[in-house]
Amino acid sequence: MEIIKTSSLIKDYDLGKLKVRALSGVDICITKGEFVAIMGPSGSGKSTLMHIIGCLDRPTQGEYYLDQELVSKLPKSSLAGIRNRKIGFVFQSFNLLPHLNILKNVELPLMYFGMSTHKRREKAKQILDSVGLSDRLKHKPNELSGGQRQRVAIARAIVNDPSILLADEPTGNLDSQAGGDILEIFDSLHRSGNTVIMVTHDPAVANRADRIIRIKDGLVEDGDLAT
Partner 1 sequence: MAISLRESLHIGIADIMTRKVRSSVTILGIVLGVMCIMVVLAIISGMNASTLSWMEERGGASKIDVYRNWDYDFSKGGYASLSLSEVTRIREMIPEAKALNAQIDIWDALLRYRGKDYPGTAFGVMPDYPIAENWRVAKGRFINNLDIRENSNVIVIGSYVARDLFGTQNPIGRSLNLNGNMMQVVGVMEEKVWISEGGGPWAGNVLAYMNEQSFIPISTLMNKFGGDKMITSMQVMANSPNQALELQKKLDGILLNIKRGKAVFRVSSAQEQMEQMKQNAQIFSMIFILIAVISLFVGGIVIMNIMLASIKERTREIGVRLAVGARRIDIFTQFLVQTVLITALGGVLGIVLGFSILDLVSGFLKMPMQANPNMIMAALLVSVGVGLLFGIAPAIKAGNLDPVIALREE
**DSSP three-state, residue 164:** strand
Binding site for partner 1 (CB under 8 A): 51, 54, 56-57, 77, 80-81, 83-85, 89, 91, 95-97, 99-100, 108-109, 111-114, 156, 160
Please identify, using beta-carbon distances, which residue of 111 and 212 lies nearer to partner 1. Answer: 111
Task: Name the residue nearer to partner 1 (CB basis): 109 or 223.
Answer: 109
- Closest distance to partner 1 from the beta carbon of 207 (Å): 27
Report the residue number, 88 or 179, with the smaller CB distance to partner 1: 88
CB-wise, 99 or 191, nearer to partner 1? Answer: 99
212/49 Cα distance (integer angstroms)? 14
From the CB of 221, what's the least distance to partner 1, in Å?
Answer: 24
Q: Which residues contact 156 (CB under 8 A, 6 or more apart)?
A: 88, 96, 105, 106, 108, 109
Give the whole-angstrom CA distance, residue 24 versus residue 93.
28
Least Å distance, CB 196 to partner 1, is 17
Residue 210 CB, nearest distance to partner 1 (Å)? 25
Pick the closer one to partner 1 by CB: 65 or 112: 112
Amino acid making up residue 117: T
Residues 157, 172: Cα–Cα separation, whole Å = 17
Q: What span, in angstroms and rounded, lies between the C-alpha atoms of 192 and 68?
A: 22
Task: Report in angstroms how near the CB of residue 201 gets to partner 1 at its nearest.
Answer: 18
113 Cβ contact list (under 8 Å, min separation 6): 84, 85, 120, 160
Closest CA to 49 of 34, 69, 64: 64
d(CA 161, CA 67): 13
